[in-house]
Amino acid sequence: MWDDARTGRPFLPRVLIADGGGDPVRRPPGIPSGILLRDIDLLAVVARMATRECQVVVDLDSVRGLGSDAAAADFVLDTLGIGIVLSRRAHVAAHVAARGGLALLHAHAFDSTGIARSLAAAPMVPGIGTVVSPASVLCHMRTTERAALRRPVVGYGLLTDPAEVIACLDAADSVVVRQDVAVRLAAAAGMAASGNPPLTPVAIEE
């Protein structure tokens, strides 16, 4: 239901709203959004999947009560039905991609050296994208550095203003925001009604 016809892999929404297991996230209308489960208990993850209404992504390393190895990825893929997995481990990302899922591998983006090392460690196989944190770094990277990132690229963290989100989406395929930021994003400049270009899907080629 949420697969990308272009790649055959799970579809990545332009906006991912962070869900830490508190009150259920309310997605604002007009924004192509999904949910990112992060910093959350495993039981809450299971409960969220029982009432799933949109594309769900999970940050594997931050789920309390679940490991962060290939076996945990298999549980997420097979038992929970979550096809997009964030990981800090290259071998886990490769495992998810080999299973037909979409893996998003964290890159250490605090300086150019960290980015280069992260890119060098990333498996060069289809189905693995890049998570850049903090997201604002994307706006300050050189064009050659951004071009080297494996797509899709996700801007993760520290986006608190709609203008920052839109600027980040010029360089990223998806961004992670809090619910309050998503609400303000939908309201900004009539975005929900106008179909603002930064929120249109980006073609991802393997």
The per-residue pLDDT for range 11-26, each reduced to its tens digit, is: 999 999 999 999 989 9
> What is d(CA 143, CA 19) in angstroms, rounded to the nearest whole number?
32
pLDDT at 31: 86
pLDDT at 154: 96
Query: For the chain, what is the mean pLDDT?
Result: 87
Nearest to 157 by CA among 135, 179, 124: 135
pTM score: 0.88
> Which helix (H) or strand (E) element contains residue 106?
strand 102-108
Q: Break the chain into its structural domains and give their ranges.
A: 15-180
Please compute the mean of the pLDDT values over residues 120-145 and round it to a whole number: 86
| 30 — pLDDT class (breaks 50, 70, 90) | confident
In terms of DSSP bridges, do strands 102-108 and 63-64 run parallel, antiparallel, or are they unpaired? unpaired
pLDDT at 29: 87
Nearest to 56 by CA among 34, 24, 33, 78: 34
Please compute the mean of the pLDDT values over residues 104-113 and round it to a whole number: 74
Is 32:199 a contact under the CB 8 Å cutoff?
Answer: yes
- Per the DSSP assignment, residues forming a β-bridge with 40 are 63
In this predicted structure, the answer to whether residue 192 has a pLDDT above a threshold of 50 is no
> If 0-12 CB within 10 Å is exposed, 13-18 middle and 19+ buried, where does residue 192 land?
middle
- Kindly report, residue by residue over 180-189, the tens digit of the pLDDT: 999 999 888 4
Q: What is 15-180's CATH superfamily? A: Aldolase class I (3.20.20.70)
Nearest to 60 by CA among 30, 40, 78, 79: 40
Please compute the mean of the pLDDT values over residues 87-115 and round it to a whole number: 86
In this predicted structure, the answer to whether residue 135 has a pLDDT above a threshold of 60 is yes
| 158 — pLDDT class (breaks 50, 70, 90) | confident
Omega before 197 within 30 of 0, i.e. cis: no
| 198 — pLDDT class (breaks 50, 70, 90) | low
